[in-house]
Amino acid sequence: MVASGWDTDMAGFMSGKKVLVTGVLRDNSIAFHVARLLLEQDAEVILTSFGRQMKLTELSARRLPKPVPIVELDVTDADHLAALPEQVRQHTDTLDAVVHSIGFAPQSVMGGRFLEAEWPDVATAMEVSAFSLKSLATAALPLMPNGGALVGLTFDASFAWPVYDWMGVSKAAFEATARYLARDLGPKGVRVNLVSAGPIRTTAATSIPGFEEMEGRWSERAPLGWDVTDPEPTARGVVALCSDWFPATSGEIVHVDGGVHVMGQ
Protein backbone atom coordinates (compact mmCIF):
# COMPACT_ATOMS: atom_id res chain seq x y z
CA MET A 1 0.00 0.00 0.00
CA VAL A 2 1.27 3.46 -0.89
CA ALA A 3 1.13 6.08 1.87
CA SER A 4 -1.13 8.95 0.82
CA GLY A 5 0.39 12.33 0.08
CA TRP A 6 3.67 10.97 -1.32
CA ASP A 7 4.58 11.46 -4.95
CA THR A 8 5.60 8.04 -6.23
CA ASP A 9 6.09 8.97 -9.89
CA MET A 10 9.88 8.89 -10.37
CA ALA A 11 9.95 10.52 -13.83
CA GLY A 12 11.17 14.09 -13.36
CA PHE A 13 11.19 13.46 -9.63
CA MET A 14 13.13 16.69 -9.01
CA SER A 15 10.66 18.73 -11.06
CA GLY A 16 10.21 22.21 -9.58
CA LYS A 17 13.22 21.83 -7.26
CA LYS A 18 15.86 24.55 -7.30
CA VAL A 19 19.34 23.38 -6.45
CA LEU A 20 22.63 25.23 -5.94
CA VAL A 21 25.51 22.99 -7.02
CA THR A 22 29.08 23.92 -6.10
CA GLY A 23 32.20 22.15 -7.41
CA VAL A 24 31.71 21.70 -11.16
CA LEU A 25 35.20 22.00 -12.60
CA ARG A 26 35.48 19.44 -15.41
CA ASP A 27 33.02 16.96 -16.87
CA ASN A 28 34.50 14.28 -14.60
CA SER A 29 33.70 16.33 -11.45
CA ILE A 30 31.21 14.55 -9.22
CA ALA A 31 29.24 17.82 -9.17
CA PHE A 32 29.01 17.84 -12.99
CA HIS A 33 27.13 14.54 -12.86
CA VAL A 34 24.97 15.77 -9.98
CA ALA A 35 24.01 18.81 -12.09
CA ARG A 36 23.41 16.64 -15.18
CA LEU A 37 21.15 14.21 -13.30
CA LEU A 38 19.26 17.06 -11.63
CA LEU A 39 18.61 18.69 -15.01
CA GLU A 40 17.55 15.32 -16.48
CA GLN A 41 15.07 15.09 -13.59
CA ASP A 42 13.69 18.56 -14.43
CA ALA A 43 15.27 20.47 -11.53
CA GLU A 44 16.54 24.03 -11.95
CA VAL A 45 20.28 24.22 -11.30
CA ILE A 46 22.57 27.10 -10.41
CA LEU A 47 26.32 26.44 -10.37
CA THR A 48 29.08 28.20 -8.47
CA SER A 49 32.71 28.67 -9.42
CA PHE A 50 35.42 31.21 -8.79
CA GLY A 51 38.55 32.95 -10.02
CA ARG A 52 40.60 31.28 -12.72
CA GLN A 53 38.50 28.08 -12.44
CA MET A 54 35.43 29.97 -13.73
CA LYS A 55 36.49 29.50 -17.38
CA LEU A 56 36.77 25.71 -16.92
CA THR A 57 33.38 25.61 -15.18
CA GLU A 58 31.83 27.60 -18.06
CA LEU A 59 33.30 25.15 -20.60
CA SER A 60 32.04 22.14 -18.62
CA ALA A 61 28.60 23.72 -18.13
CA ARG A 62 28.17 23.84 -21.91
CA ARG A 63 28.16 20.04 -21.85
CA LEU A 64 25.16 19.93 -19.49
CA PRO A 65 21.73 19.13 -20.99
CA LYS A 66 20.50 22.74 -20.48
CA PRO A 67 22.09 26.18 -20.03
CA VAL A 68 22.63 27.00 -16.34
CA PRO A 69 23.67 30.20 -14.56
CA ILE A 70 27.00 30.31 -12.71
CA VAL A 71 27.53 32.56 -9.69
CA GLU A 72 30.89 33.49 -8.18
CA LEU A 73 31.74 31.73 -4.90
CA ASP A 74 35.08 31.10 -3.30
CA VAL A 75 33.99 29.50 -0.02
CA THR A 76 36.86 31.17 1.81
CA ASP A 77 35.87 34.68 0.64
CA ALA A 78 33.63 36.48 3.16
CA ASP A 79 32.42 38.97 0.52
CA HIS A 80 31.39 36.17 -1.86
CA LEU A 81 29.56 34.39 0.97
CA ALA A 82 27.74 37.57 2.00
CA ALA A 83 26.74 38.28 -1.62
CA LEU A 84 25.53 34.72 -2.33
CA PRO A 85 21.80 35.27 -1.57
CA GLU A 86 21.69 38.38 -3.78
CA GLN A 87 23.59 36.58 -6.58
CA VAL A 88 21.28 33.56 -6.44
CA ARG A 89 18.14 35.76 -6.28
CA GLN A 90 18.97 37.03 -9.76
CA HIS A 91 17.93 33.52 -10.89
CA THR A 92 15.57 32.16 -8.20
CA ASP A 93 14.00 33.42 -4.95
CA THR A 94 14.49 30.22 -2.95
CA LEU A 95 16.50 27.00 -2.96
CA ASP A 96 15.34 23.48 -2.13
CA ALA A 97 18.81 21.99 -1.92
CA VAL A 98 22.49 22.96 -1.79
CA VAL A 99 25.28 20.60 -2.85
CA HIS A 100 28.73 21.03 -1.30
CA SER A 101 31.22 19.33 -3.66
CA ILE A 102 34.35 21.20 -2.63
CA GLY A 103 37.73 19.98 -1.50
CA PHE A 104 41.27 21.27 -1.56
CA ALA A 105 44.53 20.70 0.32
CA PRO A 106 48.03 21.89 -0.58
CA GLN A 107 50.16 19.00 -1.87
CA SER A 108 52.55 19.54 1.06
CA VAL A 109 49.99 18.03 3.47
CA MET A 110 49.19 14.91 1.43
CA GLY A 111 51.18 12.15 -0.25
CA GLY A 112 52.77 10.57 2.83
CA ARG A 113 54.20 13.71 4.47
CA PHE A 114 51.83 13.64 7.45
CA LEU A 115 54.56 14.24 10.01
CA GLU A 116 56.21 17.08 8.06
CA ALA A 117 53.02 19.10 7.40
CA GLU A 118 52.98 22.71 8.68
CA TRP A 119 49.94 24.38 10.21
CA PRO A 120 49.37 27.14 7.60
CA ASP A 121 48.91 24.49 4.87
CA VAL A 122 46.83 22.27 7.15
CA ALA A 123 44.72 25.33 8.01
CA THR A 124 44.04 25.91 4.30
CA ALA A 125 42.91 22.30 3.90
CA MET A 126 40.64 22.57 6.94
CA GLU A 127 39.13 25.90 5.89
CA VAL A 128 38.38 24.95 2.28
CA SER A 129 37.43 21.33 2.89
CA ALA A 130 35.70 21.31 6.31
CA PHE A 131 34.77 24.75 7.68
CA SER A 132 33.35 25.60 4.24
CA LEU A 133 30.34 23.36 4.90
CA LYS A 134 29.33 25.71 7.73
CA SER A 135 30.16 28.78 5.62
CA LEU A 136 28.07 27.55 2.68
CA ALA A 137 25.21 26.48 4.94
CA THR A 138 24.89 29.82 6.69
CA ALA A 139 25.34 31.79 3.45
CA ALA A 140 22.57 29.81 1.72
CA LEU A 141 20.20 29.66 4.70
CA PRO A 142 18.30 32.91 3.85
CA LEU A 143 17.39 31.23 0.54
CA MET A 144 15.83 28.25 2.32
CA PRO A 145 12.98 29.75 4.38
CA ASN A 146 11.01 26.49 4.09
CA GLY A 147 13.95 24.22 4.85
CA GLY A 148 15.50 21.81 2.35
CA ALA A 149 18.60 19.67 1.93
CA LEU A 150 22.32 20.30 2.29
CA VAL A 151 24.37 17.45 0.83
CA GLY A 152 28.17 17.06 0.87
CA LEU A 153 30.80 14.53 -0.20
CA THR A 154 33.27 12.76 2.01
CA PHE A 155 35.87 9.99 1.84
CA ASP A 156 35.34 7.74 4.87
CA ALA A 157 37.20 9.51 7.68
CA SER A 158 37.04 6.54 10.09
CA PHE A 159 40.31 5.20 8.68
CA ALA A 160 43.92 6.33 8.19
CA TRP A 161 44.29 5.90 4.42
CA PRO A 162 47.55 5.80 2.45
CA VAL A 163 48.63 9.31 1.25
CA TYR A 164 45.34 11.09 2.22
CA ASP A 165 46.97 12.51 5.34
CA TRP A 166 45.65 15.97 6.37
CA MET A 167 42.89 15.80 3.78
CA GLY A 168 41.70 12.78 5.77
CA VAL A 169 41.81 14.82 8.97
CA SER A 170 39.88 17.58 7.16
CA LYS A 171 37.26 15.03 6.11
CA ALA A 172 36.93 13.94 9.77
CA ALA A 173 36.25 17.59 10.66
CA PHE A 174 33.89 17.85 7.68
CA GLU A 175 31.89 14.83 8.86
CA ALA A 176 31.69 16.27 12.39
CA THR A 177 30.64 19.65 10.95
CA ALA A 178 27.78 17.91 9.11
CA ARG A 179 26.58 16.39 12.40
CA TYR A 180 26.60 19.76 14.21
CA LEU A 181 24.84 21.41 11.25
CA ALA A 182 22.22 18.64 11.34
CA ARG A 183 21.69 19.55 15.01
CA ASP A 184 21.46 23.30 14.47
CA LEU A 185 19.62 23.41 11.13
CA GLY A 186 17.13 20.61 11.83
CA PRO A 187 14.79 23.00 13.66
CA LYS A 188 14.82 25.16 10.51
CA GLY A 189 13.76 22.18 8.41
CA VAL A 190 17.17 21.71 6.78
CA ARG A 191 18.43 18.12 6.44
CA VAL A 192 22.23 17.74 6.34
CA ASN A 193 23.64 14.53 4.89
CA LEU A 194 26.82 13.26 3.25
CA VAL A 195 27.69 10.73 0.61
CA SER A 196 30.87 8.80 1.40
CA ALA A 197 32.17 7.92 -2.05
CA GLY A 198 34.75 5.41 -3.19
CA PRO A 199 37.73 6.73 -5.20
CA ILE A 200 36.92 8.45 -8.52
CA ARG A 201 39.53 9.88 -10.90
CA THR A 202 38.65 13.57 -10.75
CA THR A 203 40.95 16.61 -10.75
CA ALA A 204 40.93 16.84 -6.94
CA ALA A 205 41.64 13.11 -6.56
CA THR A 206 44.42 12.81 -9.11
CA SER A 207 46.17 15.85 -7.64
CA ILE A 208 46.77 13.81 -4.46
CA PRO A 209 50.35 12.52 -4.78
CA GLY A 210 50.07 8.70 -4.87
CA PHE A 211 46.27 8.62 -5.41
CA GLU A 212 46.70 5.17 -7.06
CA GLU A 213 47.47 3.83 -3.58
CA MET A 214 44.05 5.00 -2.39
CA GLU A 215 42.36 3.38 -5.37
CA GLY A 216 44.22 0.29 -4.18
CA ARG A 217 42.24 -2.84 -4.77
CA TRP A 218 38.90 -1.02 -4.33
CA SER A 219 37.20 -2.60 -7.32
CA GLU A 220 38.29 -6.10 -6.19
CA ARG A 221 37.26 -5.50 -2.56
CA ALA A 222 33.85 -4.06 -3.43
CA PRO A 223 31.14 -6.74 -3.25
CA LEU A 224 29.23 -4.74 -5.88
CA GLY A 225 32.39 -3.86 -7.86
CA TRP A 226 33.62 -0.29 -8.34
CA ASP A 227 34.58 1.79 -11.39
CA VAL A 228 37.03 4.60 -10.54
CA THR A 229 36.16 6.34 -13.81
CA ASP A 230 32.40 6.53 -13.17
CA PRO A 231 31.08 9.38 -10.96
CA GLU A 232 27.44 8.57 -11.73
CA PRO A 233 26.65 6.18 -8.83
CA THR A 234 27.97 8.78 -6.39
CA ALA A 235 26.06 11.57 -8.13
CA ARG A 236 22.87 9.51 -7.94
CA GLY A 237 23.32 9.17 -4.18
CA VAL A 238 23.70 12.95 -3.88
CA VAL A 239 20.57 13.62 -5.95
CA ALA A 240 18.59 11.11 -3.87
CA LEU A 241 19.60 12.91 -0.67
CA CYS A 242 18.61 16.26 -2.27
CA SER A 243 15.15 14.88 -3.06
CA ASP A 244 12.00 14.52 -0.95
CA TRP A 245 12.74 10.81 -0.60
CA PHE A 246 14.79 11.16 2.60
CA PRO A 247 12.37 13.46 4.45
CA ALA A 248 13.29 12.32 7.97
CA THR A 249 17.03 11.70 7.54
CA SER A 250 19.69 14.09 8.80
CA GLY A 251 23.27 13.77 10.05
CA GLU A 252 23.59 10.60 7.97
CA ILE A 253 26.54 9.38 5.91
CA VAL A 254 25.44 7.17 3.03
CA HIS A 255 28.26 5.06 1.62
CA VAL A 256 28.36 4.90 -2.17
CA ASP A 257 31.50 2.77 -2.37
CA GLY A 258 30.44 -0.56 -3.86
CA GLY A 259 30.12 -1.92 -0.30
CA VAL A 260 33.82 -1.69 0.65
CA HIS A 261 33.13 -0.08 4.04
CA VAL A 262 31.68 -3.32 5.47
CA MET A 263 34.48 -5.61 4.30
CA GLY A 264 37.09 -6.92 6.76
CA GLN A 265 39.67 -6.94 3.97
Ligand X SMILES: NC(=O)c1ccc[n+]([C@@H]2O[C@H](COP(=O)([O-])OP(=O)(O)OC[C@H]3O[C@@H](n4cnc5c(N)ncnc54)[C@H](O)[C@@H]3O)[C@@H](O)[C@H]2O)c1
Residues that bind ligand X in the complex, under the rule CB under 6 A: 22-26, 29-31, 50, 53, 73-76, 101-104, 128, 153-155, 197, 199-200, 202-205
Per-residue burial over 205-230, b if 16 or more Cβ lie within 10 Å, else e, is beebeebeebbeebbebbeeebebee
Query: Whole-number minimum distance, CB 154 to ligand X, in Å?
Result: 6
CB of 200 to ligand X, least distance (A): 4
Given the residues 17, 134, 171, 180, the one annotated as active site: 171
- Residue 16 contacts by C-beta under 8 Å, 6 or more apart in sequence? 42, 43
Question: 30 vs 109, which CB is nearer to ligand X?
Answer: 30
* Number of residues assigned to the chain: 265
Q: Least distance in Å: CB of 80 to ligand X?
A: 8
Nearer to ligand X, 106 or 147 (CB): 106
Looking at the Cβ atoms of 8 and 220, the one nearer to ligand X is 220
Which is nearer to ligand X, 78 or 247 (by Cβ)? 78
Of 147 and 209, the one with the shorter C-beta distance to ligand X is: 209
Shortest distance (Å) from residue 243 CB to ligand X: 19
Interatomic CA distance for residues 99 and 116, integer angstroms: 33
Is 171 marked active-site?
yes
From the CB of 10, what's the least distance to ligand X, in Å?
25
Q: Which residues are catalytic?
A: 164, 171
